[in-house]
Amino acid sequence: MPLSIQQVEHLAKLAKIYLAEDEKEKYVQELSAILDYVKKLQEVKTDAILEIEVNAGRLRDDYVIGLSSLEQDELLNAAPEKQGRLIKTKAVFE
């Protein structure tokens, strides 16, 4: 399904980009090839594919595995740096 130059110009306007005349021709070809590929994908028979049952809104049960205060203290004492009851680490983003 070949696109026209007017359609490419319209897409460029929607995307708020400037296209030179030679770029418009290039995008007519490239976008047309993409649309042809999508058309082929739409022709693929998917009837034999089993539907996966999705439990919409159903998440796994969440539970807390707590450490005793003694275990927490041991972990905090093993940390090279701490700030209060938190383990201090190097910054990820600087």
Q: DSSP string of 39-53?
A: HHHHTS--TTSPPPP
Report the percent of the chain where pLDDT is more than 90.
39
Question: Which pTM does this prediction carry?
Answer: 0.47
* C-alpha–C-alpha distance, residues 94 and 53, integer Å: 44
The pLDDT mean for the chain works out to 84
Give ∠ CA 9-14-19 in degrees, rounded to 5. Answer: 40
Least-confidence region, from 48-52, 61-65, 69-73: 48-52
Domain boundaries in the chain?
A: 5-42
Q: How is domain 5-42 classified at the architecture level of CATH?
A: Orthogonal Bundle (1.10)
pLDDT at 16 over 80: yes
Whole-number pLDDT of residue 5: 92
Q: Residue 62 region, left (φ>0) first, then alpha (ψ -120 to 50), else beta?
A: beta
* C-alpha–C-alpha distance, residues 1 and 3, integer Å: 6
Pick the residue with more confidence: 67 or 31? 31
